[in-house]
């Protein structure tokens, strides 16, 4: 009787090994592709006066330091938005966004596609910003955000970047 128990035990082990060897694991899920927006920036009119670099410097109540905002509006419809908090004796802190822009009547519309180098959900309305244009000339541009923030900007040189 004893040999029968040993054979039965071996049979269970062999059968378990065969079942394990024949079964397959589901394939590992493919890594999610990096989300890139399908939105393609469209060139703006060649005579569009908003094309260029526009710099604003301002202070806000309750914020120690100067807020600097640079709007870079390119002829091919791409935009860069850089905001920087410059504080005394402290390193600068900033936000850098890129995407597309266009003019909609008396409004500047900016659609962010990347924020600080990371793709964003282009369908999220938080990444579409509208600024009312209250004044536009060759060297000055005055904008007002939906939140009521006034930007009195001045044109800067084409390659200008905010120093960090």
Q: Is the pLDDT of residue 25 over 50?
A: no
The overall average pLDDT reported for the chain is 84
Spatial distance between the Cα atoms of 105 and 82, rounded to a whole number of angstroms: 24
Distances, alpha carbon 139 to alpha carbons 35, 73, 124, 134, 136, in Å: 37, 14, 33, 14, 8
Enter the pTM of the model: 0.74
Using alpha carbons only, how large is the chain's radius of gyration in Å?
Answer: 29
Q: Is the pLDDT of residue 38 over 70?
A: no
Q: Is the pLDDT of residue 7 over 50?
A: no
Residue 131 in tokens = 């600024």
53-85 pLDDT tens trace: 999 999 988 888 999 999 999 999 999 999 999
Could you give the count of Cα atoms lying within 13 Å of 65 in the half-sphere of its Cβ? 14
Q: Is the pLDDT of residue 151 over 60?
A: yes
Q: How many CB atoms are located within 10 Å of the residue 65 CB?
A: 15
Domains and CATH numbers, the chain: 52-156 (2.40.128.280)
């Amino acid at each position: 009787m004893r040999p029968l128990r040993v054979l039965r035990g071996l049979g269970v082990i062999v059968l378990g090994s065969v079942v394990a060897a024949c079964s397959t694991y589901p394939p590992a899920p493919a890594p999610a592709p990096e989300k890139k927006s399908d939105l393609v920036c469209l060139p703006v009119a060649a005579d569009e006066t908003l094309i260029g670099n526009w710099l604003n410097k301002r202070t806000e109540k309750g914020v120690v330091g100067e807020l600097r905002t640079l709007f870079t509006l390119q002829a091919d419809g791409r935009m860069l938005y850089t905001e920087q908090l410059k504080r005394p004796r402290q390193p600068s802190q900033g936000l850098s966004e890129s995407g597309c822009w266009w003019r909609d009547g008396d409004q500047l519309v900016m659609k962010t596609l990347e924020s600080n180098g990371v793709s964003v959900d282009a369908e999220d309305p938080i990444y579409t910003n509208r600024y009312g244009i209250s004044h536009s000339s060759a060297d000055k541009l005055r904008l007002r955000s939906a939140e009521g923030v006034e930007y009195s900007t001045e044109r800067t040189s084409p390659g200008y970047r905010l120093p960090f």
